[in-house]
Each structure stands twice: as C-alpha cells, then as structure tokens.
A and B are shown apart, each in its own frame.
Chain A
Amino acid sequence: MDEGLKSELQKAGIFTTTLNDLYNWGRGNSLWPLQFGLACCAIEMIATSMSRYDLARFGAEVFRPSPRQADLMIVSGTVTKKMAPQVVRLFKQMPSPKYVIAMGACAISGGPFKQGYNVLKGIDRYIPVDVHLPGGPPRPEAVLQSLNYLQEKIRTQDIKSDPAFIEGRRQYPVPEFTGTDLEPPYNPDVWQPPANPNAPAEEEATA
C-alpha cells in the first residue's frame, strides 16, 4: 500500500497492514526455542533466559523440550560426529518454518576442537543456519543480539515466495555415524565445500 495513504489512515485512527507483515510480526515475536544444550555454550544460553538478561523481553522464553513444539533451534556447543545425526533428526522433527542459530565457534566451525578426530566442522554442513553467532562462549548480550538479527530476517520474509513456505517440507537426510566418520560428509543442498583458490583454472587448462 502507498506509504502516504497509510500514514493518512493512521492519523484517522485506521491501522492498515498486510497479511505478510502481520504474520511475520507474530512469528518473529513469539519464537519458541528448543530446549537443547550441547556443551559449554548451553550454559550461557540458559543464563540468557535467566533473571539478568531475561530473554522473555524478546518473546523467546518458552523453551520447549519437544522439537514438535519448537521453531528455533539454538545449536549451543560442540557437535561431535556421534551427536550430529541426533541434531539433524531433531531439526527434521521441528515443524517449518524453522530457524537455526549456530551459537559459538564450535557449532560454526568446530572451534578450538577443530583438529579433533571426532568433531564436526560446522553444523551448517547438514542444516541451514540463519544466524552464525561467534564467540566461545558468546556473551548473553550476543545471544540477544543474534535473536534480534533473526527477528529482522523473519520480518523480511515473504509468505508467497520464501522457499520455507512454498516448498513444503524440505529434505534433510540424517547422516549416519559409521564409527569413524559421517556418511554423507555433508548435505549438498545446504552446503558446498568452498572452491580451492589454488586449484588451476579449468578453462585455461582445456584451452
């Protein structure tokens, strides 16, 4: 709607909005996170929801123990190869539209334990991450800010064109832990290995 007309109407006491805005407003301000802690970062996530930082101010304090009732997953901590299938399975069980915050260096890339043989080098290999929240552990203020970023993102979503709405259930195959590694190593729909900058350019090689 025309912005001028909108403010004219507002002055006259008539509030206009679109379904999209109303829907996004409602969803963004009542996110229900999954009560799901993995490692050290989980303690800071709990601290965020406690008295001093009070996550409830931003409408996201209803931590649900069941993934069926949650729409935000905060991956708070190191994801090991043994744990990764469970994380993906939990994500699959959440009803869409659903969001993921990768909290801490470990969830983003493996963090300090990246060299370890049993640590997954980033949960974004299997599930789509909306906000990467760096830190080890991130301060509770940072958790609040990441939530604000997510709300901002939700505000710009369009019900008609956003893949989360039109595609229906997207597929996130659960990887299998083989004892030493995960099979497949990543979900190609979600993540692709970065191009090697040192590799010889292909066109030149063929030409």
Chain B
Amino acid sequence: MTAAAPNYELIQQDDLETSLLEVSMGPHHPSTHGVFRMDVKLDGETVVDLKPVFGYLHRNHEKLAESMSYLASMPFTDRLDYFNSMTNNWAYALAAEQLIEIEIPERAEYLRVIMSELTRLVNHVSLVGFFVNDLGALGTPLLYAFREREKILDLFEQASGARMMCNYFRFGGLRCDVPEGWLDRTREVVDRFPKFLDEYEKLLCENEIILSRTQDVGNLSKELAISAGITGPMLRASGVNYDIRKVDNYGIYDRFKFRVPYSKGEVGDCYDRFMVRMLEMRESIEILKQALDGIESGPIMGNAGKVFKPAKAEAYGRVEAPKGELGFYLVADGTTQPYRYRVRPPSFINLTVLQDMCIGQQVADAVIILGSIDIVLGEVDR
C-alpha cells in the first residue's frame, strides 16, 4: 500500500558487489497457510519489498451463487472460511433475512449464538496452534489445539451431521433442533475449556521465545489499521475498541454481558494479536455460559418457505466472524436468484496491510506476521 521500496539503497560493502534477492514463497510453502504466494525482495535477511499474489483458490463462489436460488448457496458459504462454517452461515442468513422479513424464534437465536461462539473457540485455538507452529514449535501446541477442536467438532457433528461443513443455518432459524442431551454435553465442554486455556496460557503467554520473536514484530499503527479497513482481532490488537457484536447487536448479543479485549498500547505487534485472541476465548466462554443458562425449548424455525422471491431490494448483513467483519451484500431483482452476490471477506481485507507490516523485518518474521493475520485462502480468493 503505502511503503514500497523501489528506490531502495543497498548497503555497499567495501569492494563486494551486492544485489537484491527476489524470492517467490509459495504457492506450495508450508508456512503460507494454503495456496498463497509472496514475492519477497530481500537484502540479505531483511525484507525490502513484498508483493502478495493470490487467486490460486478462486472457486467462483460469487458467480455460482448468482446462478442458483438463495438457499442453495448456503452450503457454499461453509466453504468460504472453512474453519468457521457457522459464522459464515449466519452472516449470509442475516443478509437474506433482511430481504424476506421473517421472525426468528427465540431458541434459534440462542442456538445461533452458541454455535458461533463455539466456532470462535475452534478458530482461535487452531490459529494459536498454527501461529506457534510457524514460530518453530513443531507439534505440541498444535496437538493440544486440535485435541480441543475435536471436542467441539463432535458437538457440531451431533447437531448438524457434519464436522466442518455444517450448513446448519436457514433463513428464519436453523435446519433442525439439537439432539437430546446436546446442551448438557456442550456445557461439559465449555466448563472444561478454561482449564485447557490455563494450561495453554502457562505454556505460551510468557514463553521467552514467543516474547522475543513476536514483540515489536509486524507493528500496525492504529491509524493505518483504521484507514485500511482492518477488522476483527487484528484491529483490536492495534488499540481500537470495535466489535460488531457490540456495535450492531445483531441476533441477541445485547442480552449477554461480555467484554471486548483490545490492546491498550499503540504498538499492534504480533504478540498483541496473539494475546487478543487468547483473551477473546475467555469472553466467548462467558457468553456460552450465559446462553446455555438462558436457552429454553421452543420452535427453531420461522415460517419460511424453501424458495423465495424477494422484491427488488438491497441488503447487507454482517457479523463479527472470528477473523473480522464478514459481510454479505445481496441485490435482489425479483427472481428466485440474487442479481448480485458479494462477500466482504475479513481475511482478504486484513491481508492488504501485509506489505506495510513486513517491510524492514527479517524474512523469518514475515512468516509469523502472515500467521498472525489469520487468513484462510478459501475466503481470500473465494
């Protein structure tokens, strides 16, 4: 974006000839979190210029959705950010529910909150695992993370039938009710989670290596974060208190008491981004506990048909997905298919500041900075 280095002056060694080295990292690179490529210009170990190249996973999501009925693209939204299918579903449902006005039953609202907070736990816990993996701690933290992830995926599977691609939300409610005893099992998982977090925090948060490798690396100033449209934990790590759950109060988020962790400092480095996520998990547990206490039995689906013909209108629905603001923009033209279907993917927009954060850092740090942004290529390329 702003800082590029076309006129970079090489440091001349006495009589040695020096030149910049151009390295293409990816699309097959273990640290790029999928099929993503960075064209890096290096002066020794220092990153002088960096150009992100993507499009390797462009799956025509938007074009396909414009050629099918509204409901039919619900399973495709699962595949956007494939860690968080539930929040993707919710954002799309919110947008479509503005086009067709339906009442959403109480129980469905509660289950939506429960599902998306569980999703947040899954996302953050795996992200931290992958992030520490990038730092070089191969195995252990990721193994712990996936152990916890499996427990939550079991809950998803019992409710929706699928581990990852849940396809659970419908316009006006949910596809089916949760099975008997599901809420108790969820409570068990939620009650045990803080214990795991304690362990994880003890292992990571004050670890000497993590501190020295992440602090003051990949700084992102508040001003740049705001003007680049960064959202989610990354924005909060730069010191902005902005959470769509609080701003929009979509669903029934106004009923829950929870805090929004954000960094008080002005640095916005990788460590802040890592800590914001660790703290956010605690708040998700708080929300989950309140939701599990408040939920009552009742219907889970409003009276919506399967095929809709909304009148000509526009709608934008957004949620606080674990990675940031996930929005769906729909233009209805009076037929059963959307005229325009656009996704505002948080990972993609957060990725735009990668260059600014990486210039001047070591090449090994570029890997961590990318990891701390938390991208998923399914969403970046769509």
A112 touches B58 (CB 8 A): no
Q: Are A40 and B59 in contact (CB under 8 A)?
A: no
Q: Are B58 and A82 within 8 A (Cβ)?
A: yes
Distance in Å: Cβ of B321 to nearest Cβ of chain A: 16
Interface flag for A36 (CB, 8 Å): yes
Q: Decide if A42 touches B34 in the complex (CB within 8 Å).
A: yes
- Which residues of chain B from 41 to 77 have a CB within 8 Å of any chain A CB? 55-61, 63-64, 67, 75-76
**A43 is contacted by which of B61, B63, B147, B164 (Cβ under 8 Å)?**
B164
Q: Of the candidates B149, B163, B377, which one forms a contact with A139 in the assembled complex, judged by CB atoms under 8 Å apart?
A: B163
Known: A83-B35, A113-B64. A52 touches B82 (CB 8 A): no
B57–A38 CB distance below 8 A: yes
- Shortest CB distance B347–A (Å): 14
Q: Interface readout for A50-67 with B: 1 if CB under 8 Å, 0 if not? A: 111000000000000101
A115 touches B64 (CB 8 A): yes
- Chain A 61-81, CB-CB to B under 8 Å as 1, else 0, gives 000010100000000011010
B224 to chain A, nearest CB (A): 30
* Interface pair A47/B146, CB less than 8 Å apart: yes
CB closest chain-B residue, reference A136: B165
Structural contact, A117 and B143, CB atoms closer than 8 A: no
Contact A113 B165 (CB under 8 A): no
A78 surroundings in chain B (CB, below 8 A): 57, 59
* B164 near A40: Cβ-Cβ < 8 Å: yes
Query: Is A151 interfacial (CB 8 A cutoff)?
Result: no
The reply to whether the CB of B79 lies closer than 8 angstroms to some CB of chain A is yes
Q: How far is the CB of A42 from chain B (nearest CB, A)?
A: 7
B160 CB → nearest A CB, Å: 14
For the A-B complex, the count of residue pairs with Cβ-Cβ distances under 8 Å equals 91
Q: Say yes or no: B165 contacts A83, CB within 8 Å.
A: no
Give the residues from 20 to 65 in chain A that come closer than 8 angstroms, CB to CB, to chain B. Answer: 35-40, 42-44, 46-47, 50-52, 65
| Residues of chain A lying within 8 A (CB to CB) of residue B63 | 116-117
B28 and A86 contact, CB distance less than 8 A: yes
Count the A residues whose beta carbon is within 8 Å of the partner chain — how many? 33
- A39 near B34 (CB under 8 angstroms)? yes
A65 vs B28: C-alpha distance when bound (angstroms): 9
Q: How long is the Cα–Cα vector from A27 to B309 in the complex, in angstroms?
A: 58
Which of A35, A40, A118 is within 8 Å of B165, CB to CB?
A40
Contact partner of A118 (CB less than 8 A), chosen from B35, B60, B83, is: B60
Closest to A86 in B: B27
The listed residue (A43, A67, A113, A137) touching B60 by CB distance below 8 A is A113
**Residues of chain A with a CB closer than 8 A to B82's CB:** 39-40, 43
B32 to chain A, nearest CB (A): 10
Q: Are A82 and B60 in contact (CB under 8 A)?
A: no
The interface residues of chain A lying within 8 Å CB-to-CB of B360 are: none
Cross-chain contact B35 with A38 (CB below 8 angstroms): yes
B143 touches which of A35, A38, A50, A67 (Cβ 8 Å): A50
B76 touches which one: A112, A117, A118 (CB < 8 A)? A112
Q: Is B239 an interface residue (CB 8 A)?
A: no
Query: For the complex, is B150 an interface residue (Cβ under 8 Å from A)?
Result: yes
Whether A40 and B60, one on each chain, are in contact in the complex, defined by CB atoms closer than 8 angstroms, is no
The answer to whether A118 and B64 have CB atoms under 8 Å apart is no
Interchain CB contact (< 8 A) of B30 among A35, A119, A137? A35
Beta-carbon nearest neighbor of B54 in chain A: A82
Q: Contacts A38-B34, A43-B82 given; indicate if A83 touches B56 (C-beta within 8 A).
A: yes
Does B146 lie within 8 Å of A39, measured CB to CB?
Answer: no
CB contacts (< 8 Å) of A117 on chain B: these are: 60, 63
- Whether B278 is near chain A, meaning CB under 8 Å from some CB there, is no
Residue A90 is within 8 A (CB to CB) of chain B in the complex: yes
Decide if B142 is an interface residue (CB 8 Å cutoff).
yes
Q: How far is the CB of A127 from chain B (nearest CB, A)?
A: 14
| Chain B residues with CB below 8 A from A115, complex form | 60, 64, 67
**Interfacial chain A residues near B83, Cβ < 8 Å:** 43
Does B378 sit within 8 A of A, measured CB to CB?
A: yes
Chain B residues contacting A139 (CB-CB under 8 Å) are 163
Q: For A90, list chain B residues within 8 Å (CB).
A: 28
Chain B residues contacting A39 (CB-CB under 8 Å) are 34-35, 57, 59, 79, 82, 377-378
CA distance A90 to B64 in the complex (A): 30
Assembly CA distance A40 to B79 (angstroms): 7
* Contact of A82 with B56 in the complex, beta carbons under 8 Å: yes
How far is it, in angstroms, between the C-alpha of A137 and the C-alpha of B82 when the chains are bound? 10
Could you tell me the distance in whole angstroms from the C-beta of B163 to the nearest C-beta in chain A? Answer: 7
A86-112 at interface with B (beta carbon < 8 Å): 86, 90, 112
| 0 or 1 for each of B1-43: is its CB under 8 Å from A? (1 = yes) | 0000000000000000000000000011110001100000000
Q: Which residues of chain B are within 8 angstroms of A65 by Cβ–Cβ distance?
A: 29-30
Asked if residues A36 and B28 are in contact (CB atoms below 8 Å), the reply is: yes
What is the distance, in angstroms, from A10's C-beta to the closest C-beta of chain B?
40
Q: Which residues of A contact B67 (CB under 8 A)?
A: 115
Interface residues of B in 119-164 (CB under 8 A from A): 142-143, 146-147, 149-150, 163-164
**With A40-B82, A47-B150, A51-B146 given, can you name 4 additional A-B contacts, CB distance below 8 Å?**
A51-B147, A86-B35, A113-B61, A116-B59
Q: List 6 A-B contacts (CB under 8 A).
A: A42-B34, A50-B147, A51-B147, A112-B75, A115-B60, A118-B59
7 A-B pairs closest in CB distance = A116-B60, A40-B82, A50-B146, A65-B30, A83-B56, A113-B59, A51-B147
